[in-house]
Structure 1
């Protein structure tokens, strides 16, 4: 690492000449995440209506659709430049949102169950692609040193959006109904598209990668490159493993909370409000991490330390859930000290957290730290990789590999519960997985810091470097 880059990392702040692009990046991510979180509670209340036993079928459908779309995205970036591909992806999802509006009418052509299933499938794909494309774009205009300094700041925009989104849903759904929320989401994506265009212009003139050969050109290669890189490239393979371990934690926690919601709330409005409350708490925690902890820790200690702190904290809360082993008892009733800490929080936050059982608290903590700490750290690692990995391999990991993990984890969870493994046992397994994820993430981050990810397209040509 050069002396200049080392100074950049130690400062941990936005430098002269970066402010405009950072502001545009924050606004871009804010719009993307707000657009998603405006309509996400609709999907979550559908899950709660049917219970966790149906999640493997939902996730299987999402995986098949994602597996079909991933080569299409790889084909696009192989043949068209960034300035065409990114707007095309967002334009496609805007058109889909507008197309859903008449389907949500009272006398729409689809039954509520069919519409709900289709919408669950679509929004799961929507989330993966719009966020993956955002971070691929970010790693394409910022170098590794800038990523470590700036990604926690840029991530704040997304976290604020993830707070505004469910707040908008809570305020508007009873007034305007579901269909107009889709128009709100489409409008936000349209604004994000404006930010994409402005960032592209800035990057061509001021970006750190503007001197790289053909940094905006079509990448070339084949449509299956992204999926191949997961198996052939050691860096992409390790990142996929890290994601799958994190996916176990998130999917099991989600399934337990889905069952709690189904057993506790009897109508769609209550389930939707409960899902929005969890999103709000999760994203308040994520924002706190992004403002107070992650920028300092990532810029000074690197991604390994950030992932390590996430792992230890997640293990602790999952262990609490395993000890309580009752999905319906509020955690404040079991641990008086925890109750005192919750009571010391602002009244509105305390009122939301107080009644939550251990499984819901574990979900909030693991998700909040994943968004606020692991997300920026993980994305900063991709900034060191070759461009074909940043777009093709990363997209394949973030979409196809992730949804494959959803299917496998949800199926395993249903199987474990069928043989008598309860909430405590599932939480204990997740705690062990969180510990393993910490070890894997630590090793990947240290390997990247030694220059291990700076390979053209990796193991496809005999690369035997190990993480």
Structure 2
């Protein structure tokens, strides 16, 4: 049997379990997302915030219902920062076989608690759920991709991550359809149990994939994930600061999320101007979401695997940045709703189908602390902090007009392109890092440490 045939044979079974895992994870999230969005759009402050918060705000002369999203986004970022050291302690002190199921079991227990809160109309349920779902989305997805880097080596990742991403996209498409079909029958509270059941399947997939992760580590002489990796609760922050690849990843994500946030917020402003009727605005956004999902899944199935397998991650990283830079240039010339929609579709589909899988393949070549601790900081704290910062940046630059927003977006897209170039430069040094990752974790000092 040829080497390529053996590779296909050994990667087929974990591919299907990984597909099922990501499908159920994103399906479970997108079942919940409409519930979260309804909380964020609610004009009833009592359905969102605790009564004590409402009373305090009224006593100080302002109404919380006028600042729903601002307060929710700020709370989300604060909670994300507080949970980062908790996650760092968890992955540092427990082996993979313990902390991976523990993360998802924690989310399942939370869903059972929210089921009770929604059933009893508990005060503050909306705020808690909005913040929790953001935390769940970022931590659960980053844990998934960290685990995939344990299961698959770089060559397998290049061939398979496009398919795995397509499985997630299929789940993202089915989730809202389930919500639409079931919410009128079983109610909002019971939707949370549907999501909990899907997360239970994720736990099963984690257990079934463990054997392939162990075999991959033994085959390549890597540090075992069956032992705790150690490190302080702040190890992830230190890794991002000290390691060139992680630093470049953080810079790229900062500008990528910033450009996307500027585009999204200006799209909402333009939609309010051109589509004052709520039904027309809803149809406009629905068409965008449908186009994003269709383009993403076609790209994942037809292009991503070929690009990563033939040329490596460079084209898949560079193309979304170049398309976004070109898109903002076109918007400066023609800021019409149809052009905004086209750029939005290209940006989101490029991120989901190309940039994200390409970045994740690089984590297969770094050590476990970088995959679990450093990556978590980038995907959670950096992501959410950037989102919050650019929400306020948009508010400031939008006062100068639409053209100023798109000019700021072009600058952010250029920064994203620079970050991608930094990633590709740092990637050249990963050959040396591979020998380090094969050492026991306790023997891997961080630079600057003794």
Native 8 Å contact 2:81 2:381 kept in 1: yes
Native 8 Å contact 1:31 1:189 kept in 2: yes
Measure, in 1, the Cα distance between the counterparts of 2:243 and 2:409.
27
Q: CA deviation at 1:369?
A: 0.9
Native 8 Å contact 1:44 1:275 kept in 2: no
- 2:379 pairs with one of 398, 407, 423: 398
Q: Does 1:189 align with 2:175?
A: no
Q: Which position in structure 2 is the counterpart of 1:349?
A: none
Q: Does 1:429 align with 2:422?
A: no
Matches for 1:329-368 after TM superposition, within 5 Å: 329=337, 331=338, 358-368=339-349
Matches for 1:51-450 after TM superposition, within 5 Å: 55-105=69-119, 108-110=121-123, 114-205=124-215, 211-259=221-269, 264=275, 278-326=288-336, 329=337, 331=338, 358-417=339-398, 420-450=399-429
Native 8 Å contact 1:155 1:290 kept in 2: yes
Q: 1:228 to 1:271 in 2, by over 3 A?
A: farther
Native 8 Å contact 2:292 2:349 kept in 1: yes
Q: 1:292 to 1:431 in 2, by over 3 A?
A: farther
- 2:19 pairs with one of 26, 29, 41: 26
Q: 1:452 to 1:242 in 2, by over 3 A?
A: farther
Native 8 Å contact 1:235 1:453 kept in 2: no
Q: Does 1:40 align with 2:51?
A: no
Native 8 Å contact 2:96 2:228 kept in 1: yes
- Scaled by the length of structure 2, what TM-score is found? 0.84
Measure, in 2, the Cα distance between the counterparts of 1:97 and 1:197.
21
Q: CA deviation at 1:396?
A: 1.0
Q: Does 1:461 align with 2:447?
A: yes
Q: 1:286 to 1:39 in 2, by over 3 A?
A: same
- Name stretches of at least 5 consecutive residues in structure 1 with no aligned partner: 332-357
Q: 1:462 to 1:204 in 2, by over 3 A?
A: closer
Per-residue deviation, residues 249-292 of structure 1 (Å, max 9, x unmatched): 2222232344456675777x998887665433322221111111
Native 8 Å contact 1:304 1:443 kept in 2: no
Aligned-CA RMSD value: 3.0
Q: Report 1 or 2 for greater relative contact order, CA contacts < 8 Å, sequence distance ≥ 6.
A: 1
Per-residue deviation, residues 384-423 of structure 1 (Å, max 9, x unmatched): 1111111100011111111111121112111222xx2333
Native 8 Å contact 1:143 1:209 kept in 2: no
Measure, in 2, the Cα distance between the counterparts of 1:101 and 1:266.
34
Q: 1:318 to 1:171 in 2, by over 3 A?
A: farther
Measure, in 2, the Cα distance between the counterparts of 1:362 and 1:188.
33
Q: 1:402 to 1:227 in 2, by over 3 A?
A: same
Q: Tell me the secondary structure at the aligned position of residue 305 of structure 1.
A: helix
For this pair of structures, how many residues does the alignment match?
419
- Name stretches of at least 5 consecutive residues in structure 2 with no aligned partner: 44-64
Q: 1:390 to 1:19 in 2, by over 3 A?
A: same
Q: 1:52 to 1:131 in 2, by over 3 A?
A: farther
